[in-house]
Amino acid sequence: MRGYLSASSSIPWNVQSRGLSIGASSAHGLFSSTARHGLLFSAREPSQIESIHRRPPEVIFSGRANVGKSSLINSCLGRSSKNSLVKSSKTPGKTRSLDFFHVGYEPVRLVLVDSPGFGFRGKEEWGQLFDAYISTRQELRRIYLLINGSHGVKPTDRTMLEMLGQKQQASAGSGFTIQAVITKIDGMFGDKSSERLQKLRQDIFEAAPTCLPPILTSTKLKIGIDELRRSMTEAAGI
Ligand SMILES: Nc1nc2c(ncn2[C@@H]2O[C@H](COP(=O)(O)OP(=O)(O)O)[C@@H](O)[C@H]2O)c(=O)[nH]1
Ligand SMILES: [Mg+2]
């Protein structure tokens, strides 16, 4: 917690907790028992999704290869790169499956899903896997679309935002919600950071008006992790 606050003090915009009280204590309790989180299942083909243990609410992390999906899941589960639960890598395209991680154990109350990156080296069959998951999985409560803060909204991000926004509306509000997560904001500081952030928000809104406001994160500086945890517990109704 001290690291979170001290790291945040040098941030040019307000990324600290916005005073959200809903779910704050339950988020803390749910994620605090680090040793009880673990890998539940990996699905490499759409047909395997069906067989995965059901019931606890699920949230999925999506985004282009290398945007920081696996690192962010590790941080939320209280792991560092040294004792990571989820493989993260400098080499894009490392994750080729949907990996399901349980938060807590007996009872499992939330499941986080890591997904293969789309865009650079993201192969077509990985896209099919993701598509099959979001189209059929009733446990899915929220899709986090991660966007690299230094790169801005790329054409592949825009396409993804538009597609997810349309799918969400087609499900008539009964299925999942979508939320943007800006990653690696440690690389965004400096000149015009506020303008760049404003442009990011605007681009996200134009592509997907129903997308929930972005959460700003850095696993390097431990920024935004608690806010993301609270968002997950809120999405899961915990
Ligand atoms: N500067 C910076 N680098 C990060 C951050 N999060 C992840 N990375 C690095 O980005 C690379 C890709 O991360 P990874 O989590 O494997 O991305 P994924 O392909 O989306 O799962 C790795 O080298 C990470 O160390 C961050 O917040 N800041
Ligand atoms: Mg990964």
Residue keyed to tokens 């919600």: 177
Kindly compute the dihedral angle of the four CA atoms of residues 138, 101, 110, 162, in this order, to the nearest 10 degrees: -50
d(CA 215, ligand 2 centre) in Å: 19
Residue 110 has pLDDT above 90, yes or no: yes
Q: Quick check: CB of 231 below 6 Å from ligand 1?
A: no
d(CA 203, CA 205): 5
Give yes or no for residue 182 having a pLDDT over 90: yes
How far is the centre of ligand 1, averaged over its atoms, from the C-alpha of 55 (Å)? Answer: 30
Task: Give the number of other CB atoms < 10 A from CB of residue 173.
Answer: 9
Residue 222's SS3 state is: coil
The least confident of 49-53, 102-106, 161-165 is 49-53
Average pLDDT, the chain: 82
Q: What is the pLDDT of residues 38-49, one digit of tens each?
A: 998 899 888 898
Statement: residue 15 has pLDDT above 50: no
Domain 2-14+40-236 has CATH 1.25.40.10: no
Statement: residue 83 has pLDDT above 90: no
pLDDT-derived band at 171 (thresholds 50, 70, 90) equals confident
pLDDT recorded at residue 234: 96
pTM of the model: 0.87
Mean pLDDT of 199-205: 97
pLDDT for res 124:
60
pLDDT (0 to 100) of residue 150: 93
Domain ranges of the chain: 2-14+40-236
Percent of the chain topping pLDDT 90: 51
Q: Give Cα separations from 41 to 51, 112, 151, 210 (angstroms).
A: 10, 11, 32, 31
Protein residue whose Cα sits closest to atom 1 of ligand 1: 184
- Write down the pLDDT at residue 80: 76
SS (H, E, C) 5-22: HHHHCCCCCCCCCCCCCC
CA distance 229 to 227: 5
